[in-house]
């Protein structure tokens, strides 16, 4: 596995373990991170820490990479299966539930040296998985 894909594999492991410091160690200090809940981007380590801390108080996300694509512009796209449940482990319900539940999406990572400098979400509607649970 190439070094950037290996770094991203570790990033997902640390995210799923709720190890914020482990994830932040792979990110540039002025990271621009897509806000998957409210739109826009979160900038910098401190704001990203606050974003994740608030997010994990209301939902339990799990993200599993299933493949990586290297683009000509240097970006690496991780195809991931995203599963978001409530804090009791139940599938989400409500108006935003469909956009968050069990689906395959693209996470686009742009690098500055060996650190992630920007993260974006790329919807892939043809890759949706059926809702489970």
In a domain, 80, yes or no: yes
Is residue 36, in this structure, part of any structural domain at all? yes
Return the ∠ at Cα 67 (arms to 88 and 92), rounded to 5°: 20
Asked if residue 54 belongs to a domain, the reply is yes
**How many domains, the chain?**
1
Boundaries of domain holding 99: 3-127
CA neighbours closer than 13 Å in the CB half-sphere of residue 70: 8
Q: Tell which residue, 122, 90, 92, has the closest CA to residue 107.
A: 122
Q: Name the 3-class secondary structure at 7.
A: helix
In this structure, is residue 132 part of a structural domain?
no
pLDDT tens for each residue of the chain, 133 residues long: 799 999 999 999 999 999 999 999 999 999 999 998 889 999 999 999 999 999 999 999 999 999 999 999 999 999 999 888 889 988 776 555 444 446 789 999 999 999 999 999 998 644 443 333 3
**Which residue's entry shows tokens 């059926």?**
130
Q: How many CB atoms lie within 10 A of CB 105?
A: 20
Reported pTM = 0.85
Sheet holding 41-43, edge to edge: 41-43, 27-34, 115-122, 103-112, 76-85, 60-70
119 assigned to some structural domain: yes
Q: Which helix (H) or strand (E) holds 98?
A: helix 97-100
Helices (H) and strands (E) in the chain, counts: 4, 6
Residue 133 lies in a domain: no
Is 12 inside any structural domain? yes
Strand spans (E) along the chain: 27-34, 41-43, 60-70, 76-85, 103-112, 115-122
Quote the pLDDT of residue 91.
77
Q: What CATH number is given to the structural domain containing 106?
A: 3.10.450.50
């Amino acid at each position: 596995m190439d070094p950037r894909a290996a770094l991203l594999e570790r990033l997902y492991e640390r995210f799923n373990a709720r190890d914020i410091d482990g994830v932040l160690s792979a990110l540039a200090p002025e990271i621009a991170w897509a806000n998957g809940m409210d739109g826009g981007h979160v900038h910098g380590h401190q704001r990203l820490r606050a974003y994740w801390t608030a997010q994990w108080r209301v939902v339990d996300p799990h993200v599993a990479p299933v493949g990586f694509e290297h683009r000509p512009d240097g970006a690496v796209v991780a195809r991931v299966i995203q599963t978001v449940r409530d804090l009791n482990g139940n599938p989400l319900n409500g108006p935003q539930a469909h956009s968050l539940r069990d689906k395959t999406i693209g996470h686009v990572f742009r690098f500055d040296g060996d650190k992630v400098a920007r993260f974006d979400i790329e919807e892939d509607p043809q890759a949706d998985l059926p809702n489970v649970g």
